[in-house]
Amino acid sequence: MAPGAKLTLSITYAVLSVLEPLPAQISQKDQQFLKHTFSAYLPSAYTSLNQKTRVRFGNGNIANYTVRPEKNSEGKDDPVRQGPSLTYGPYGEIPAGAYEPVSVRYEFTKPIIHVTRLERDIEVSHWGGNIATEERYWLTNRGAALKDQFSRVQWQMSMYANPATSALKELKYPLTVGSGDAYFTDDIGNVSTSRFRSNSREALLELKPRYPVFGGWNYNFKVGWNADLSKYLRKLKSSEGYVLRVPFLEGPKMSEGVEYVKVELRVILPEGAKNVKFETSVPFVESSVTNHLTYMDTLGRLTLAITSINLVDEFREREIVVRKPSFPPWNAYERIRRCLNPK
């Protein structure tokens, strides 16, 4: 930057596992309230000359919040409440690393969807021009626990009015247009309470767990689907090789959001692939290239394995790009060419 020039930065970050249900236990029909503790000051490594923090909620039912004894720099009460939002500040000069704890307790009668582990496999097959995706979830609802035993009768009666609930009762997966052959299983077996819509405009997988997942309850399940490889793979014009571009994270897209503690992604390439390079804008902690043996394989399939931690569903828009995988000369190029250009 030139001397005296100015630059505006927009920084987005997510913090996992910080919401605390208060009270920790509620009845099946009760509203859920969450407590969030944070700093009224911006977490910064630099001295701030002027700053303020605005917290916005889904509705205006804010039960309690911290009121600071000092006025803000404008001489007003701190914080200032305006409908469903609170504004702490503005403040004058604040030193680097300053921390001023405040807390807010507010209504959030929705599930807190917390995925402790996600295993995601993307298997590329040039023989059938297909890309098969399978995801295995270990899911928990971190909302308030049930104070009494679960009543199936009460739950079925409430479904007619469809009230707000802290239990997880459905998941919606928007997939790539053209996806098909979707399935949904859990530890017991096939789950029939699912619906899959696929047409020229959308591919939506709607899942209903075998039981409503209340606070503190777990649900482990598996979903999978197929898609046309030509939507993800293209041949390089400048040199031999191909580029495979696939989503790093798909999964459910819910209004309340989803958080992932650990995501293990595997991209399984056709047998004989080598010289693989990849890039992604998703932060990861570990990557490796291994060999995956499956039916009818002789050498095994080169597999790119990537591990990420502490992700949120905003990463659904990010991709992983596998560049220049080369194949042996035994008709592999020809089969991929036919996949990309069926005519």
**Distance (Å, rounded) from C-alpha 226 to C-alpha 213?**
28
Q: Is the pLDDT of residue 306 over 90?
A: yes
Q: What is the pLDDT of residue 316?
A: 86
Mean pLDDT of 184-203: 88
**Distance (Å, rounded) from C-alpha 186 to C-alpha 242?**
36
Least confident of 223-232, 245-254, 271-280, 321-330: 321-330
Q: Is the pLDDT of residue 111 over 90?
A: yes
Q: What is the pLDDT of residue 327?
A: 53
Q: What is the pLDDT of residue 331?
A: 46
Mean pLDDT of 151-171: 86
Mention every residue, 6+ apart, whose C-beta is less than 8 A from residue 242.
233, 234, 235, 236, 324, 325, 336
Q: What is the pLDDT of residue 340?
A: 56
Closest C-alpha to 139, from 220, 225, 208, 43? 220
Q: What is the pLDDT of residue 341?
A: 58
Q: What is the pLDDT of residue 99?
A: 93
Does residue 301 contact residue 312 with C-beta atoms inside 8 Å? no
Q: Which residue has the higher pLDDT, 319 or 157?
A: 319
Q: Which residue has the higher pLDDT, 332 or 206?
A: 206
Return mean pLDDT, the chain: 87
pLDDT band at 123 (very low <50, low <70, confident <90, very high): very high
Q: Is the pLDDT of residue 325 over 80?
A: no
Three-state secondary structure call for residue 231: helix
Q: What is the pLDDT of residue 330?
A: 38
Q: What is the pLDDT of residue 329?
A: 46
**Distance (Å, rounded) from C-alpha 28 to C-alpha 146?**
6
- The model's pLDDT over 265-298, given as tens digits with 9 standing for 90+, comes to 999 988 777 778 899 999 999 999 888 777 776 6
Least confident of 6-20, 95-109, 270-284, 316-330: 316-330
Tokens matching residue 89 = 């500040």
Tokens matching residue 5 = 């020039």
Q: What is the pLDDT of residue 297?
A: 67
What pTM was computed for the model? 0.86
Give yes or no for a cis peptide into 212 (omega within 30° of 0).
no
Q: Which residue has the higher pLDDT, 297 or 252?
A: 252
Q: In terms of C-beta density within 10 A (0-12 exposed, 13-18 middle, 19 or more buried), how is residue 57 classed?
A: middle
Q: What is the pLDDT of residue 338?
A: 53
pLDDT band at 339 (very low <50, low <70, confident <90, very high): low
Q: Percent of the chain beyond pLDDT 90?
A: 54
Q: What is the CA radius of gyration of the chain?
A: 25
Amino acid found at 49: L
User: What domains lie within the chain, and their CATH numbers?
Assistant: 33-107 (no CATH), 113-340 (2.60.40.1730)
Task: Give the neighbor-by-neighbor strand order of the sheet with 130-141.
Answer: 180-186, 218-228, 130-141, 113-125, 258-271, 301-312, 286-292
Q: Is the pLDDT of residue 240 over 70?
A: no
Mean pLDDT of 312-338: 68
Q: Percent of the chain beyond pLDDT 70?
A: 92
In angstroms, how far apart are the furthest CA atoms of the chain? 77
Query: Would you give the DSSP letter of residue 144?
Result: P
Neighbours of 94 (CB within 10 A): 19
Q: What is the pLDDT of residue 86?
A: 93
Does residue 227 contact residue 122 with C-beta atoms inside 8 Å? no
Three-state secondary structure call for residue 248: coil
Does residue 311 contact residue 317 with C-beta atoms inside 8 Å? no
- The model's pLDDT over 144-155, given as tens digits with 9 standing for 90+, comes to 999 988 988 888
Does residue 300 contact residue 272 with C-beta atoms inside 8 Å? no
pLDDT band at 237 (very low <50, low <70, confident <90, very high): confident
